[in-house]
Amino acid sequence: MNAITLNNVDVYLSGSHVLQNVSFEVPSNKVTALLGRNGVGKTTTLRAIMGLIPSTGTISLFDKPIHGMPTYKIAHSGIGYVPEDREIFSTLSVAENLSLAVRDENPNYDLVYKLFPELLQRASQRAGTLSGGQQQMVAIARSLLNKNQIILIDEPTKGLAPKLVGEVAEALTHVANETTMLLVEQNLALVRSVAEHIIVMSQGSVVFQGDPSNLQNDEFVHSMLGVSGGLH
């Protein structure tokens, strides 16, 4: 069964037709990477799934329609969302950032601290004083506290130094063993290491769905993503 299904989804923003008849499936218990050059509609797609922007068409979670529901109900239905640029509360502690995300009666702190032991060590530290990689771990950890059926993660390595990219990549590998993931990412090496399914977008439309082994083909990467040798 597919975790998420989009059928003929369109989004208009400020008079622009940003998403055009977008249809794809996110298989359950796998990592799906949503790829494409900047500005093709990847973040807009995640925001449409979460109900943060108006859209037409249908969006389903395990065959149950969620399209048109308010965002808080979509989240409560079992979708975790890690937005672009992390959006943590910089003046609050790590522990306070996590506690604000708790929705379930028994939040899964054991899993969070198993995957990110550093967050337990830094529980009382203000989140704004963490490194970029550590802040990204806080953002991902918030989505794991609740029993989400799928997590949407938007460009987790954006703006990070290479060493921190490695730390986040390792964290994502562990997260991938715990839940279904829809990942927007520009680092092709990371995508190759974790993705089991890929979707490529161009100019607001889906142009490819299939096996990530295609990313080993430089001709495919150049034609689909407009670069040679992969995204960075």
CATH number for the domain spanning 47: value is 3.40.50.300
147 located within any domain: yes
Q: What is the pTM of this model?
A: 0.90
Q: Does residue 232 fall inside a structural domain?
A: no
Q: What percentage of the chain carries pLDDT values higher than 90?
A: 66
Q: List pLDDT tens digits, range 76-113.
A: 999 999 998 778 999 999 999 999 999 889 999 998 99
Average pLDDT over the chain reads 91
Instruction: Look up residue 158 and give its DSSP letter.
Output: T
The answer to whether position 179 is within a domain reads yes
Q: Give the other-Cβ count within 10 Å of 45's Cβ.
A: 30
* pLDDT tens-place string over residues 33-87: 999 988 899 999 999 999 999 999 999 999 999 999 999 999 999 999 999 877 8
- Residue 231 in domain: no
Residues 205-228 have a mean pLDDT of: 86
Q: What is the pLDDT of residues 113-146, one digit of tens each?
A: 988 899 999 999 999 999 888 898 899 999 999 9
Provide the 3-class DSSP secondary structure of residue 143.
helix
In a domain, 15, yes or no: yes
43 lies in some domain:
yes
For residue 179, pLDDT beyond 70:
yes
Is 60 exceeded by the pLDDT of residue 228?
Answer: no
Number of domains into which the chain is organized: 1
Q: Give the rounded percent of residues in the chain with a pLDDT score beyond 70.
A: 97
Residue 188 counted as domain residue = yes
- The whole-number pLDDT of residue 227 equals 60
- Helix boundaries (H) for the chain: 42-49, 71-76, 94-101, 109-115, 117-121, 132-144, 162-176, 188-194, 218-225
18 touches 204 (CB < 8 A): yes
The string of DSSP codes covering 173-191 is HHHHTTSEEEEE-S-HHHH
pLDDT at 32 over 60: yes
Q: Assign 225 to helix, strand or coil.
A: helix
Which residues form the domain of 69? 2-225
The verdict on residue 176 lying in a domain is yes
